[in-house]
Structure 1
Amino acid sequence: MCAPIAGNLTNRFNATHVSSIGVLIFCLGLGALIFLPERPSVGDFLWRVVLCGMGYGFFLPPNNKEMFANAAKTRTATASGVLSTARTTGQSIVAALVAMVLALMGGLSGSTEGEFSVYVFAFACAISALSLLASMARIYKRQDQDLAL
């Protein structure tokens, strides 16, 4: 739903800025998931997940556009393969990390599912916040380079 809108926005605005806004929205959604009530309703959960989905939808297309724009036209197939490999590798590593955290949390006495979900969403929120900082640094670096010219 948001991906076509994000694609259109990148025709008018800098793709890095649009993807940074997407990461910010995603981070806010993950942060909201941290504060789920102990017994959440479907609505409590749904609006938070929708916010995460919107953020991801605003992040991914502009980010891909930016990556392919920086690849030589003769290398777009290679860039696509590298992107796919990086995405699959990242998903695999995260799945392994989640399994490890599950195993470690299972060994802790007194931990509950609620506590575990708070830790998971807080960790994910921290990673997305670091991604946002990296994106913002890229924007400021580009602005400094433009001013130097």
Structure 2
Amino acid sequence: MPDFLTSVRDGAFYGWPYSYHGHHVDVRVQPGDPARVASAVTPDFALGTHVAPLGLAASAGSDLPAPFARGMFVGLHGSWNRRPKSGYQVVFVPFRDGRPAGPAVELLGGFLSGDGDAWGRPVGVAVDTRGGLLVADDVGNTVWRVTAAP
């Protein structure tokens, strides 16, 4: 089941525990509830399976170049029990008219060694008052600051 990014609407039902990503029934839940599954909202954007998105920040106020002007930065902490590992990066999801509009773009990577060992795992993301993107890394015990090239 993919991790996702979606708008939150008052009164909307997002599936849990009966379904995931819209109308995909979770057969482990017994008894099921077909009426609730039928009313489940499909998320706006799939981020990938087991990427563990733990950080989210709007790009407003960022000094990064134009391709990163409208959208969301997402810190993908990553899966520890998958082969190949997934996540371990910060991606940018572009928006148009307030909704995701295009594939996620890797903004910051390099957190995995060639052998798949974690050098870092992005947790939180935030845009600072000078327009830089801050990325908290709970394996490297570091806060990275991403800015536009001078």
Q: Same fold by TM (over 0.5)?
A: no
Greater length-normalized contact order (CA 8 Å, ≥ 6 residues apart): 1
Bigger strand fraction: 2
Instruction: Provide the TM-score with structure 1 as the length reference.
Output: 0.22
Instruction: Provide the TM-score with structure 2 as the length reference.
Output: 0.22
Structure having the higher Rg: 1
